Amino acid sequence: MSEPEDDSELFRSAIGPVRPLATQPEAPRKPAPRPRARMREADERAAWSEFRHAMHDPLLDPGDVSSHRRDEVPPRVLARLRKGEYAARDELDLHGLTVAVAESLLREFLREAIAAGTGCVRIIHGKGRNSGGLPVIKNLVDRMLRQRADVLAFHSAPPAQGGTGAVLVLLKHR
């Protein structure tokens, strides 16, 4: 018998025949975490913080008029809005909803109205007679509209259009 020349042959002849091991499947990998919109979350937290600060202002009662205009909007525009001289091109009815649902619907409604180029909209919030005191949705609408840069002015609707249970809103053009 001749001596093997290289070490690997020597090793194989010394151990004899081998049986390969069954290969085990690789352990499943943990799925990657879902991506998060961290900037959007930070913006929403900041907006909520500002909104909560604004809630320290006196709240509106059921019969109170809701009114606001940006500094760049002339007072005569608000006077015309108060008289109902602007035609509402779209309408959203929020009364009877929860605050969370109303807030979500209002945000989406305003986003769509601005995207469509709608100049004036009516938001029906109700007078809050079933809220047990203060009109919750009315105050939510008032506070949200004051915080939005795309809202130029708003005023409670004339009596024929809902009175203090609705608000007419002038929106910025895109």
Is 79 strand, coil or helix? Answer: helix
Query: Which helix (H) or strand (E) covers residue 152, if one does?
Result: strand 151-156
* The overall pTM is greater than 0.75: no
Helices (H), the chain: 7-15, 38-54, 75-83, 99-115, 136-147
* SS3 call for 93: strand
Q: How far apart are CA 51 and CA 141, in angstroms?
A: 11
- pLDDT band for position 158 (cuts 50, 70, 90): very high
- Say how far apart CA 169 and CA 97 lie, in whole Å: 20
- The answer to whether the beta carbons of residues 118 and 89 sit under 8 Å apart is yes
Burial status of residue 154 (CB atoms within 10 A of its CB: 0-12, 13-18, 19 or more): buried
The pLDDT tens digits for 42-79 are: 877 777 666 665 555 667 777 888 889 999 999 999 99
Q: Which of 90, 99, 144 is nearest to 126 (CA)?
A: 99
Rounded to whole angstroms, the Cα distance separating 171 from 151 reads 5
> Region 139-168: what's the mean pLDDT?
91
Predicted local confidence at residue 55, as pLDDT? 55
pLDDT digits 0-9 by tens, 2-33: 665 788 888 888 888 888 878 888 888 888 88
Q: 124 vs 127, which has greater pLDDT?
A: 124
Please, what are the domains in the chain? 62-171 (3.30.1370.110)
Report phi then psi at 100, rounded to 5: -65, -45
